[in-house]
Structure 1
């Protein structure tokens, strides 16, 4: 149990308490991540403590921005190896989560994790956010959209805000230095029907790593023109 003590203490600071089954699921997830990473590039971070801090605890730090102890319909855009979606699902089983990623190999890995961990009410879809954001099955159907994807906030907002229903939230995980990017994105967020409500800055437990959660509230429906066709949001971010 020593390996997990530090993890559990970090989570206690976030007022998150895991049972034995949840701890087992996190450890199994770690094992699968490291094993699969040998044959497929999922993460540059493989040290146990670093994965705990930089992937698991960081994913769950979302609790500082929004109450996750209730039934919410959540979409994780550009989920990659499953962050933050899978840690959120393990820690908060009531969440109904959809993981979206553009690489089919990663989706295959995520489906294996979901099956091995016995997770329910969590699905994956393979494709681009620009395409699914136009699809009436997904457009404005979620209480919450999250993303740890590496893109500027204007681009990310165009990917993510269309999925959020009015009065829902898009929350972007960012590094600590975000003010300039935040200021540059405000007009884009407004065009998409949202408003930056707050930005929470924090340090990852037991590290000096500064992180931010940018909380965007969806106030009105997104215009049909958005998201623009695939590739456009990244090449020409909304100004």
Structure 2
């Protein structure tokens, strides 16, 4: 890992030991290798993976004290972002990774085994199905997602997983004011409250990011999430 990346991590307030750096590098190698046969990411250059995947994932510490978090679920995790970088950087976390594509789950299982990570679980399926199950519903201190759905839709998929007093934090692109306005009703109906919006640029880049801190202040009504397709077709207004 070069000095430039070390400085960007320090700027964020993250210090990694040699084992964690080795885990991130192994993850990178597996990502590039598997990406040759399946579409995991358009970003495969070492420094860019650090900046746009790893450091981006870890930027959550701008709005959350991860030491106070025990359980995390990552909805629509894809190639494992942000869930796996969070697990590597904060080994105490119990992390669940959910994705609808089985090929990606097989990749994630390979990474978990290769990195010898404990307390990381993968689920193959749709967010709206598992959110109805008592094993997962309102069981997590924190739900994260880098999925591209609008915030109203994403909230319906994610907030049901969060326990009261926990948080949902979506990773959004820089300009988010209009999307926030359009999602306020949905967040409220689902039992959440927007506490904080942190806008910034990823260190050393001109990539704008917004982290939205949504606290779960009351239980989510049983009708949510609605059946597949409805949250995106007809967001709560």
TM superposition score category, shorter chain reference: over 0.9
* Structure 1: 4+ residue segments shifted above 4 A: none
Extract unaligned runs of 5+ from structure 2.
none
Secondary structure at 1:69's aligned position in 2? helix
Secondary structure at 1:74's aligned position in 2? strand
Match of 1:119 among 117, 120, 143: 117
Deviation string 1:178-198 (CA, Å, 9 cap, x unpaired) is: 010001000000000001111
2:159 corresponds to: 161
1:196 corresponds to: 194
1:69 Cα deviation (Å)? Answer: 2.2
Match of 1:109 among 107, 110, 133: 107
Asked whether 1:91 is paired with 2:89, we answer: yes
Partners of 2:38 and 2:3 in 1: CA distance:
29
After TM superposition, the structure 1 stretch with the greater mean CA deviation from structure 2, 138-147 or 68-77, is: 68-77
Partners of 1:56 and 1:7 in 2: CA distance:
10
Partners of 2:104 and 2:6 in 1: CA distance:
28
Partners of 1:141 and 1:128 in 2: CA distance:
17
C-alpha contact 1:70 1:95 (8 A) present in aligned 2: no
How many residue pairs match? The answer is: 237
1:23 corresponds to: 21
Match of 1:180 among 178, 181, 190: 178
1:8 Cα deviation (Å)? Answer: 1.7
Task: Provide the TM-score with structure 1 as the length reference.
Answer: 0.98
Deviation string 1:164-189 (CA, Å, 9 cap, x unpaired) is: 00110000000000010001000000
Task: Provide the TM-score with structure 2 as the length reference.
Answer: 0.98
